[in-house]
Structure 1
Amino acid sequence: MKLLSLFFVTVFGTPVVLWHGMGDNCCHSFSMGAVSKMIREKVETVNYVKSLMIGDSEASDTSNGFLMPVFQQVELACQQIQADPELQEGYHAIGFSQGGQFLRALAQTCPSPPMKNLISIGGQHQGIFGFPKCPNGSSICEYVRKMLNWGAYSSFIQSHLVQAQYWHDPLQEEEYKQYSQFIAVVNNEREFNQTFKENLEKLENLVLVKFAKDTMVVPKESSHFGYYAPGQDSDILAYNDTELFTEDRIGLKTLDTAGKVHFFTFAGDHLRFTDEEFMQNLAQFLP
């Protein structure tokens, strides 16, 4: 089986794993299904695309994106990838919105089989401090908003709400570092985990896409690892001015120094991009 996998990698290039964003699922024809089809048809080096489904149905995949603790989701994703014979020689990963930081956590915690290139499109790598308007009055989205407003760092909310786990309040930095169950952990802001850092440094390329008119990611610079300066919520630090970078907590500085971090800014709102933009900018990282 390993020789067969190696043959497919040699002939067809490296396979691709996708992880969708909040409110979406693996298989909608107008979102992940369309992306998967576009990659298979237009990127000549890719023959196999796996879109992760967290749960046993498309409906549960959507709800788990709101309600299943992130590290539990990451572990399930790791199990899927390790069980897929097409991925055993390694894969490229593309994450959309929260799927971007989830795949980054996967790279940090699940190094085998290896993730080669990680493309994060509209991810929130320093977290968020603001929740967007809910599309079409979504009841679960309204529930998320109310719970975050009630108390993002309460143990109950942290344990039961995905978006609370990457809520990063710059006015409460100590509470954030103490109680965040995901983003502060993978950013090595609670207890330093050398393995997290070493695993991320194994990436061949880390590709970060920000949307110039993003109304979903607050602040939008989080997609490029930028964030508010501690203690206020107006001034934004560029990625290389944050402590995460200067202290090289997760290997971002190491990767950047080696020329392995690539920044793109797309002109539209959150996740609004064309096939042409993808092909011109991102397809090069799917060799």
Structure 2
Amino acid sequence: MRKFANFLKMEVNGVVVRSIRIGENSYDDYRHSYFDNLNRQVFNFNIIYKVDEICAQLKMDQNLKDGFHAIGFSQGGQIMRAYVQRCNSPKVTNLITFGAQHQGINTAPYCFNDTSGLCPIVSRAISSSVYVPWVRENIVQAQYFKDLKNLTPYLKYNKFLADINNDHDAKTVFDDQVVVPRESGHFGILGKEGVVDIQNQTAFVEDWIGLRSLYNRNSLVFFEMPGGHVRYFKIRFQMQIDYAWVRKNIIKYLK
């Protein structure tokens, strides 16, 4: 993240970059990317609501008081979207997400070059027990797991994605559709006859979370970044990013 922050400082004159850390150090932050509750976090015997904690961190930063651009990588994308939907003070001017799972995932995460041993544990737990209380409340990826062929347990037990996607009345709409993680980044899903873009979904038409309103005022923009998801995110604690692509397509939204 430090390399990306330095890249932004070089590309955007006078920009102040604030990185959000959950935990005391980089490994603690990495561990929280697998084991945590996206709605709450138990720390030193105090119950802290994770999104509320992020809201508090950002609200205390006087550099952000007049608004800021938010960038979220991978699951950080839906966490920052939750910030916008739940508090948004200070206000986000542009929300930019890279490879986020906005429509959830329907399979366990693929573990690529994970040397910590955390990812395989999480993957096995999700594959076998995603709705078991401890798993669904303490494994981050379980909190945006969404099998659209079997929405009943998702709607009953999921307290994060179902809330920020306003999904609780969606069962009859989605029963025959399956999430594909790539399309999930653009709020897309895979139907019986191929990909169903967000513009053709009931959630968009009925404007469940305001996406149609954003689209109608040309404030919703989608890009496809070359390469696979793991090319960019969390490989040996590093970020691998196509900076030339970001410079060409994204930097203009940060100025």
TM-score (norm 2): 0.84
Report the residue type matching 1:255 in the other structure.
L
1:150 to 128, 140, 154: 128
- In structure 2, give the amino acid aligned to 1:262: V
Distance 1:249 1:122 in 2: 22
Distance 1:136 1:279, change over 3 A: closer
2:143 to 162, 165, 170: 165
State the 1:218 CA deviation: 4.0
Aligned to 1:88: 65
Question: Once the two structures are superposed, what CA deviation does each residue of 1:115-145 show, in whole Å capped at 9, x if it has no partner?
Answer: 1100011111001112343133542101111
In the TM superposition, what whole-angstrom CA distance separates every residue of 1:76-100 from its partner, at most 9, and x where no partner exists? 2111101111111111001001111
Match of 1:42 in 2: 11
- Structure of greater relative contact order (alpha carbons < 8 Å, 6+ residues apart): 1
Select 1:243's aligned residue among 202, 215, 219. Answer: 202
Question: Which residue pairs with 2:187 in the alignment?
Answer: 225
Name 2:76's counterpart in structure 1.
Answer: 99
| Structure 2 residue aligned with 1:12 | none
**Matched residue of 1:265: which SS?**
coil
2:95 corresponds, among 111, 114, 118, to: 118
CA contact (8 A) 2:108 2:127 kept: no
**3-state SS of 2:18 partner:** strand
Asked whether 1:181 is paired with 2:159, we answer yes
Q: Partners in 2 of 1:175 and 1:128 — Cα distance?
A: 14
Matches within 5 A, 1:261-272: 261-270=220-229, 271=232
Aligned residues: 228
User: Identical aligned pairs, as a percentage?
Assistant: 34
Q: Distance in 2 between matches of 1:48 and 1:235?
A: 42
Counterparts of 1:240 and 1:70, CA distance in 2: 28
| Divergent runs of 4+, >6 A | none
Structure 1: 5+ residue stretches without partners: 1-31, 193-216
Provide the C-alpha distance between the structure 2 equivalents of 1:107 and 1:282, rounded to a whole number of angstroms: 19
Normalised by the size of structure 1, how large is the TM-score? 0.75
Local SS of the residue matching 1:224: coil
Counterpart-to-counterpart distance in 1, 2:213 and 2:15: 32
Instruction: Specify every segment of 5 or more residues in structure 2 that has no aligned partner in the other structure, as ranges.
Output: 41-49, 171-178, 233-239
- 1:147/1:157 contact within 8 Å kept: yes
Aligned residue for 2:185, secondary structure, equals: helix
1:196-238 Cα distance to aligned partner (Å, 9 max, x none) = xxxxxxxxxxxxxxxxxxxxx9420101000133xx7x84311
Q: Which residue of 2 aligns with 1:109?
A: 86
* Residue in structure 1 matched with residue 33 of structure 2 by the alignment: 65
